[in-house]
Structure 1
Amino acid sequence: MSEKKIFALLNHLWGDLNSVEFYWLLGALAAILGISWWLAYRLRRNSHAHVLNGHNALLAFGAGSIKRIAFPLIALILAGVLRRVLEHLGVGHLALLSVASLLLVSWVLVRIFVYVLRGVFPHGSFLRNFERFAAFVIWGGMIIEMTGLSDDVIEGLEQVSFSVGRQRLDLWTLLHGSVTVCVTLLAALWVGSVIERRLAAVREMDANLREVLARLAKALLSVIALLLSLSLLGIDVTALSVFSGALAVGLGLGLQRIASNYVSGFIILLDRSIRLGNLVALDDKTTGTVTRITTRYTVLRMLSGTEVIIPNEYLVGNMVRNLSFSDNRIRVATTVGVAYDTDVEHAMNLMVEIARTHRRVLADPAPGVMLTEFADSSIMLELGFWVGDPELGTGGVRSDINLEILRVFRREGISIPFPQREVRMLPNAPEETRPAPAAPA
């Protein structure tokens, strides 16, 4: 390839410097940049106002992208319109417009790529370096295109080839395939992130349902993007059936428990049998509030502050007591015994009044007392009351009420009997029951 052909665009630009049209075109480009900056500024202000007022969900959805690509995109559109008009009028010496268009295209691509990358990985520590690398690659590709070296670079990369099994590959195929797969996957993950943010804004929908829909959307879009990119590269996706069969065998043998936990996680999220904030009891020693539900495990925060990680398979396959499944109110009971000569009705009224005065006891349902048993030395009375905040525990409220019952009963002269045994020595006991005399020394 000759030097003139390699630098054809730059040579045309150098030749246009001696023409009057070049300077008119330079002024037109300056005007286009000024108009584009003003339009982008007005568009950003209007979109920001709509986002704050909540009038337009579409503008709220795309406010970030508009802010980033508005200026170069508007300038690129106006430059394209100017080129069409000048070509229709038969004006030559348009190399400056070609160079400006390539630079604006590069600018738009860099802004879009950075915006998508930050949407997919909002907290990624590697983003800054990766954004610089991506910008370098995009700008470098445009420079190669401007200088006319793109065909030579592609041809040189195709010369470096190697074999992988029966397949013959070269550097250009690998580079092109890697870029295609990365771009499609990033686009799919970005759309999934957008769907997740939109679902998070729907407060009328259950939190578990929002979570499972967002995860399903990301997984489905990622699979579609991968299959689409492989199809674009000319790879027969039916060949993946062998891999999917091997994966199924692996799940059935070595990954059975892990797969079961993931499936159980989706079941929990979909049927909403356990939700965030529920008070759940697995046994007498494990009771806590659900603080996190993932596709593999669920986290319970116990009243002692300890966090328990429970595999989802256990929650699906075993009996779980959800103390706040449909109603946060739970009944708490305490039992007290009184002497047989006590005015039982008066004692019952006192116990009800004590429960009503406690700040955590609900007025509806009202506290109540039942006579449950005639024991050996006392009449057993059970005080039942309801609390609406079981996540704070029931031991404290039960202790407060028991202490108040003890104080009031002592003041009112109501005795709480305890078991007593009476031992009687009979004077005419049989000889065999008397102790044997001690042997003489």
Structure 2
Amino acid sequence: MEGQPEIVTQALDYAQQGWDIARTWLMSPAAWSQFGLLLVAYLAALLVSRRLRPVLTKLLTPPEGQESLIATARRFVLLFVPLVLPLLAYVFTGIGESVTRSLFGSGAVIAFGKRLFLFLAARILVKEIIRDPFLKLLGRYVLVPVMAIYAVGLLDDLTTKLSETVIRLGNISFSVMALVRGVIAGAVLFWLGRWSNNQSTAFIQSQEEMPPATRTLAQKAAEVAIFGAAFLLLMNIMGISLTSLAVLGGAIGVGIGFGLQQIASNFISGVILLLEGQATVGDYVELDGGEAGTIVKMTARATILETYDGRWIVVPNEHFITTRVVNYSDSGSANRYEASFSVSYDTDINKVPGIIEKAVGDLDFVLAGGKDGERDPDCELRGFGESGVDFAVEFWVNGIDDGRNKFTPRVLFAVWNALMAHDIEIPYPRRVIEMRSADSDEA
């Protein structure tokens, strides 16, 4: 095998070692007794698990529809019932290992069996228990291969080799093991951070006694704290000194000074918006630039408006600070609208305001009262048109007259019905056409 690449030579070396170990086990009575103990341990675990799993399932299954904290914990523990078989086999094998070491002074086969049962437990965990797609992917391509290498006893050699392999990038050098450890730890930490952020967001949003702006601010603060802690912990795991981040902080500062002013400005504007609470999720706003809609989401960079035709408008947070914003939902959601109509010149117009104000005031969505009756329906004479007398009725409602709310059309229906009930004619344009003949022109 001379002249072969080093990796081939090493692989053949490991294969030869494995064959020597297997041949030793096959020729050793102590090894056969340990194989027998492994078989007995597995069969005992199989019998016990068949009787234990139904009992555990019944004990851990909460009543249907129960959503308490204890019920949630019981459902979580119930997920791990499939691990009963390999874990029982591991425990029974451990008991057998102490016996064989006291009798034969050796327990290599038993130790291999224990590692094998842990590998089976890892496969069951990934295949049957984990449901999250990212964790399942991580388990399939990281956990299971690592446990397989551990089962055959090569994990220590592999980690040593990876630790000795150093990558150099200029003045920076790190081992492959540090890189692998950082990638795995980073993936787990940031998945855990995302999960923790979702849980904290759900908890904060369920606190209905808190103002919406305070809930959003608390949600953003929790998100920054969670991912900040995950980042610092990752730096510690990878062995990177936090003092070395000063250079990175300086670079970020220079970047903000030259090219990230808008991002920084929008981030600070978003914090100011949340602190002041002048506009929050659920408010209907209109900006100076003509953008109008309901705020459905406030992010660190921008605020998202949803129009009544279902479109989303992404507005930088800075616009809410530097331009004029009309908030139709702030300080209560009552708004005033008006509906215009006309009546014929043959109508006694002195009767029209009373008729219309009563008809509109009877609508269930129209507000009334206020200081000195300022929110009562008010019908006003607006002018004398070409075809009729022009009126407008002003009314107050809770909400915006758009989208699912059709306040003005319903008011106009009420106006029509009231006018028809009192035989008041709604005019339409009339034109007089004068026909002249050619003879009359000559005359």
Provide TM-score, normalisation by structure 2.
Answer: 0.70
- The CA deviation at 1:256 is 1.4
Counterpart of 1:101 in structure 2 is 114
Counterpart of 2:75 in structure 1 is 63
Distance in 2, Cα, partners of 1:196 & 1:238: 32
Counterpart of 2:394 in structure 1 is 384
Structure 1 pair 166/410, CA: closer, same or farther in 2 (3 Å)? closer
Counterpart of 1:398 in structure 2 is 408
Counterpart of 1:275 in structure 2 is 280
After the TM superposition, which residues 220-239 of structure 1 pair with which residues of structure 2 at under 5 Å, given as runs?
220-239=225-244
After the TM superposition, which residues 81-96 of structure 1 pair with which residues of structure 2 at under 5 Å, given as runs?
83=94, 87=98, 90=102, 94-95=107-108
Distance in 2, Cα, partners of 1:329 & 1:250: 46
Any conservation in 1 of the 2:90–2:117 contact (CA below 8 Å)? Answer: no
Structure 1 pair 395/225, CA: closer, same or farther in 2 (3 Å)? closer
Distance in 2, Cα, partners of 1:114 & 1:265: 43
Any conservation in 1 of the 2:304–2:314 contact (CA below 8 Å)? Answer: yes
Structure 1 pair 253/87, CA: closer, same or farther in 2 (3 Å)? same
1:35 to 31, 48, 55: 48
Deviation readout 1:69-104 (Å, 9 max, x if unpaired): 443367436734762586389455654542343234
Deviation readout 1:290-314 (Å, 9 max, x if unpaired): 2333332223233455443222221
Counterpart of 1:361 in structure 2 is 366
Structure 1 pair 254/115, CA: closer, same or farther in 2 (3 Å)? farther
Structure 1 pair 157/287, CA: closer, same or farther in 2 (3 Å)? closer
Distance in 1, Cα, partners of 2:205 & 2:114: 39
> Which amino acid in the other structure matches residue 76 of structure 1?
L
Q: Which moved more, 1:264-273 or 1:10-19?
A: 10-19
1:293 to 272, 282, 298: 298
> Which amino acid in the other structure matches residue 98 of structure 1?
A
Any conservation in 2 of the 1:369–1:381 contact (CA below 8 Å)? Answer: no
Structure 1 pair 202/12, CA: closer, same or farther in 2 (3 Å)? farther
What SS is found at the alignment partner of 1:368? coil
Any conservation in 1 of the 2:356–2:379 contact (CA below 8 Å)? Answer: no
Structure 1 pair 91/320, CA: closer, same or farther in 2 (3 Å)? farther
> Which amino acid in the other structure matches residue 388 of structure 1?
N
Structure 1 pair 242/20, CA: closer, same or farther in 2 (3 Å)? closer
Distance in 2, Cα, partners of 1:246 & 1:294: 25
Any conservation in 1 of the 2:356–2:415 contact (CA below 8 Å)? Answer: yes
Distance in 2, Cα, partners of 1:416 & 1:19: 107
> Which amino acid in the other structure matches residue 252 of structure 1?
G
Q: Which moved more, 1:375-384 or 1:198-207?
A: 375-384
- The CA deviation at 1:243 is 0.3
- The CA deviation at 1:361 is 2.7
Deviation readout 1:249-304 (Å, 9 max, x if unpaired): 21233111122223333444455443333222335954322233333222323345
Distance in 1, Cα, partners of 2:284 & 2:83: 54
After the TM superposition, which residues 421-440 of structure 1 pair with which residues of structure 2 at under 5 Å, given as runs?
none
Distance in 2, Cα, partners of 1:232 & 1:169: 13
Counterpart check, 1:52 vs 2:65 = yes
Distance in 1, Cα, partners of 2:289 & 2:163: 69
Any conservation in 1 of the 2:333–2:398 contact (CA below 8 Å)? Answer: yes
Distance in 2, Cα, partners of 1:74 & 1:215: 44
CA RMSD of aligned residues (A): 4.7
Counterpart check, 1:23 vs 2:45 = no
Between the two proteins, the alignment pairs up a number of residues equal to 407
Q: Which moved more, 1:186-195 or 1:375-384?
A: 375-384
After the TM superposition, which residues 326-365 of structure 1 pair with which residues of structure 2 at under 5 Å, given as runs?
326-334=331-339, 342=348, 344=350, 346-358=351-363, 360-362=365-367
> Which amino acid in the other structure matches residue 353 of structure 2?
M
Distance in 2, Cα, partners of 1:219 & 1:8: 56
What SS is found at the alignment partner of 1:324? coil
Distance in 2, Cα, partners of 1:189 & 1:218: 9
* Residue segments in structure 2 that go unaligned for 5+ positions in a row: 1-12, 428-443
Structure 1 pair 160/321, CA: closer, same or farther in 2 (3 Å)? same
Deviation readout 1:149-191 (Å, 9 max, x if unpaired): 3444344445543432234444334334433443444444443
- The CA deviation at 1:242 is 0.9
Counterpart of 2:171 in structure 1 is 166
Counterpart check, 1:140 vs 2:148 = yes
Counterpart of 2:259 in structure 1 is 254
Distance in 1, Cα, partners of 2:243 & 2:108: 47
What SS is found at the alignment partner of 2:112? helix
Deviation readout 1:227-265 (Å, 9 max, x if unpaired): 223323332221011101211221233111122223333
Any conservation in 2 of the 1:110–1:138 contact (CA below 8 Å)? Answer: no
Q: Which moved more, 1:313-322 or 1:235-244?
A: 313-322
Deviation readout 1:95-147 (Å, 9 max, x if unpaired): 4542343234335556667899854xx6x6xx77655322442233323xx33
- The CA deviation at 1:350 is 0.6
- The CA deviation at 1:415 is 8.9
Structure 1 pair 283/241, CA: closer, same or farther in 2 (3 Å)? closer
Counterpart of 2:87 in structure 1 is 76
Distance in 2, Cα, partners of 1:115 & 1:190: 20
Distance in 1, Cα, partners of 2:131 & 2:143: 14
- The CA deviation at 1:354 is 1.8
Distance in 2, Cα, partners of 1:79 & 1:302: 60
What SS is found at the alignment partner of 1:53? coil
Counterpart check, 1:195 vs 2:191 = no
